[in-house]
Amino acid sequence: MTFGARLDAALDARGSLCVGIDPHPSLLADWGLSVDADGLARFAATCVAAFGDLAAVVKPQSAFFELHGSSGIAVLEGTLATLREAGAIAVLDAKRGDIGSTVAAYAAAYLDPSSPLACDAITVNPYLGVGALDPVFELCERHDAGAFVLARTSNKEGAQVQDARVADGRTVAQVIVDDVAARNAGAEPLGSLGVVVGATVDPEDCSVGELNGPVLAPGVGAQGGTAADVRRVFGASARAVLPSASREVLRHGPDIGALRDAVSRLVEDFAFLRG
């Protein structure tokens, strides 16, 4: 099955929520864990136990694993593998973006099934040009993997570049969405290439109505985004939207039951997306 087809089935089975695994050092300390690779491993294992079999999509943030060097990368390898064993779609938030052989190496590192860091999809940065990501898109097709291309992100600094207008009046973010949409044309039930559009952005600046692919929507929960915002921003396109929450869930740890309850509540809040 293509990534788009697997994701569509997972959303039907488990709901639309994407849960982040963001082991920030302060959060490790809040959980009573040591701020080192051992604490990281316990944190990640608790997250997988709590919602690896519950959430449709789980998104580890690569930076917080890289922070601990080779030991942290080893924890990330194991986390990605156990998430997939638990039936979750594992999306690695790495935001990679480069050109030529370098971006091809990034693609192989995360999307080739034989790689120790293999995941279902990665986030990628298109601001060297969407076409520079072609090696990523080619491996997505070859290995039935996925990619989420940054378009209109939830951070306020993004507006400086992403809301800029090109000659035909579209925002840069819209140009990126339209490029990805063209690559998804004709895919059923859902294209394997998605975009990242924040849950609190102005829908006039970035429409995903023609994307035919998934939308990763950060900004929910601790960043202020609500179910009403998701409905307002995405409207009729909301069926393929993945509201992404991290701190809103992880603040309930390390109690596994409390983490599961938090995920279940958010899944219910966004049940309208697949209704």
- pLDDT by residue (tens digit) across 136-146? 999 999 999 99
pLDDT category, 101, cuts 50, 70, 90?
A: very high
Find the catalytic residue in 24, 82, 86, 95: 95
CATH number at residue 51: 3.20.20.70
pLDDT of residue 37: 98
95 catalytic? Reply is yes
User: What mean pLDDT do residues 58-83 have?
Assistant: 98
Q: What is the dihedral of CA 264, 268, 270, 272, to 10 degrees?
A: 150
- In whole angstroms, what is the distance from residue 198 CA to residue 242 CA? 10
Q: How long a stretch of residues is the chain? A: 275
**24 pLDDT more than 90:** yes
- In whole angstroms, what is the distance from residue 117 CA to residue 16 CA? 24
pLDDT of residue 236: 79
Helices (H) and strands (E) in the chain, counts: 12, 8
Domain count within the chain = 1
Identify the CA nearest to 154 among candidates 96, 126, 209, 195: 195
pLDDT category, 225, cuts 50, 70, 90?
A: confident
Question: What average pLDDT is seen over the chain?
Answer: 96
Phi, psi of 263 (to 5 degrees): -65, -45
pTM of the model: 0.97
pLDDT of residue 108: 98
Q: Give the domain range for residue 240.
A: 3-274
**222 pLDDT more than 80:** no
pLDDT of residue 201: 85
pLDDT category, 205, cuts 50, 70, 90?
A: confident
Q: Alpha helices, DSSP H only, in the chain?
A: 3-14, 25-30, 37-51, 62-66, 69-85, 100-111, 134-143, 159-162, 172-184, 227-234, 247-250, 256-269
